Structure 1
Amino acid sequence: MTEVFAVLVTIDVRPETIDEFTAGLQANAVATRGEPGCLRFDVLRTRDDPNRFVLYELYSDEDAFFVGHRQAAHYPAWVQLCERCVPPGGRSNTYAVPAYPDGLTEHA
């Protein structure tokens, strides 16, 4: 089995750019979900801070994220959006692999 690769992204958005950011985030999510190797791309907004988002991204392997996703045609627009809407230090990525990868497909 190829090792499934997960990315958890926490993003704090400048309040004055929230409308631009949410529109761009939606476009990025739709495009990413269509990428080969993308198994899941969930967008969450925290309850206690409407300017904080958490992305849960699941890929078939690391290359699907680090190569396929980051070389996708839509990715430069995402980077530019974050440069405009996210303050320095306002985004963090956590990389992980499932502790029980076989369980990912049991309920899919």
Structure 2
Amino acid sequence: MYTLFVTLDVHADKLDEFIAAITTNATASLRDEPGCLAFDVHQDVDTPTRFYLYEIYADEDAFRVAHRNAPHYARWQEAAKVCVVAGSHKNTFARPLHLGR
């Protein structure tokens, strides 16, 4: 398995647009990509313009090839360009050792 943790900040005036776009992307990823095993979106309680994404893929190709070439990912990238604060997006890649689900 291949895990991705994303941290990013969103422009305050783009919160609704961002939430709609990331929800659409997460839903389509789970529905249309057999290799996408989880796609969780979290909003920081203390800083509501900060978001955390937790994604699990069957393997690295499921993320780097299938996910990044999906039509919904291209639409997400367009939304991210206008919603996400430049320089705030950080990806951390990992391999899960224990899943408590």
**What TM-score bracket applies, with the shorter chain setting the length?**
over 0.9
Q: Which runs of 4+ in 1 moved over 2 A?
A: none
2:8 aligned residue (11, 23, 27): 11
Query: Bigger radius of gyration, 1 or 2?
Result: 1
Matched, 1:85 2:83: yes
The CA deviation at 1:47 is 1.0
Unaligned runs of 5+ in 1: none
Structure 1 distance, partners of 2:89, 2:69, is 20
Structure 1 distance, partners of 2:9, 2:61, is 26
1:79-107 deviations in whole A, cap 9, x for unaligned?
A: 11110011210211000111x2xx43xx5
| Pairs aligned (count) | 100
Please give the TM-score of this superposition, normalised by the length of structure 1.
Answer: 0.88
1:20 aligned residue (17, 20, 30): 17
Structure 2 distance, partners of 1:72, 1:63, is 13
Unaligned runs of 5+ in 2: none
Please give the TM-score of this superposition, normalised by the length of structure 2.
Answer: 0.93
Whether the 8 Å contact between 1:36 and 1:68 is mirrored in structure 2 is no
1:13-71 deviations in whole A, cap 9, x for unaligned?
A: 00011111111111111001121101111111111100011000000000000000000
Identity %: 47
Secondary structure at the aligned position of 2:34 is classed as coil
